[in-house]
Amino acid sequence: MSQLTICLIIFFVTLALYASNIFPMSVVAILSLLAYVFSGCIDGATALSGFANTNTIVLLGMFIVAAGFNRTSFVDKLSQKIVKIAGGSFKRAWLCYILLAAILTNVIPFILTQFMLNQGVSNIFTPICLLTCASLGANPIGPMILVQAGSLTAFLTPMATPAIPMAMGAGGYDLKSLVKQGWLISIVLAVVYVFYVMTVFPCF
């Protein structure tokens, strides 16, 4: 049996175990990793290298930060503050949640992704978004779409994504050109994303 066939078998078995929820996802992930190593599909050094990956460490750290939000009742206090500002008005509360979603899931990731790789920004805000929605009892679909949209709207600086320096070199663009051509569409995308997504996929 070829290694490709073995890899595919392990892959589909892993997917089936994830979907069945028979074992915790962490256990399935480790067992899958061990299966790849013992089957000879990958060597031990390659298997363990992912644990030292920057994105893995950042993601782990942000899970801790997000859990800290729950332990310190940050999310509960934030929710109570919004209810207080709304003063019993559902429309005012809805507007507050839209503004909060815009800032946490679109504006901040958009700013950070201009200076960090978009995958890293997405990894940082995904657990925060999910845990915040879980604490508020909110539907996470809309906020998660905004997180990805904000993280991927990366074209104002060369640090945003590796494709930008390539485009700058090929087209002869400089940083001033990027900002000049990108600021307006960035604002338009942020406004459209927030109001469209929060209307089609409301949190509550």
Q: Do 78 and 44 share a structural domain? A: no
Q: Do 46 and 61 share a structural domain? A: no
To the question of pTM greater than 0.75 for the whole model, the response is no
Q: Do 70 and 154 share a structural domain? A: yes
Contact 165, 113 (CB under 8 A): no
Q: Do 149 and 64 share a structural domain? A: yes
Cα angle vertex 148, ends 167, 79, to 5°?
145
Residues 6+ apart with CB under 8 A from 67: 131
pLDDT 10s per residue in the chain (204 long)?
788 888 889 989 998 888 888 888 888 888 898 998 888 888 888 888 777 766 566 666 666 766 676 677 666 666 666 666 656 555 666 666 666 666 665 677 667 666 666 666 776 677 767 766 776 677 888 878 887 777 777 677 776 666 777 777 788 888 788 778 878 887 887 778 777 887 888 777
Q: Do 170 and 97 share a structural domain? A: yes
Q: Do 153 and 115 share a structural domain? A: yes
Q: Do 180 and 87 share a structural domain? A: yes
Q: Do 92 and 45 share a structural domain? A: no
Percentage helix, strand, coil for the chain under 3-state DSSP, each rounded to 5: 80, 0, 20
Count of structural domains, the chain: 2
- Provide the 8-state DSSP code for 177: H
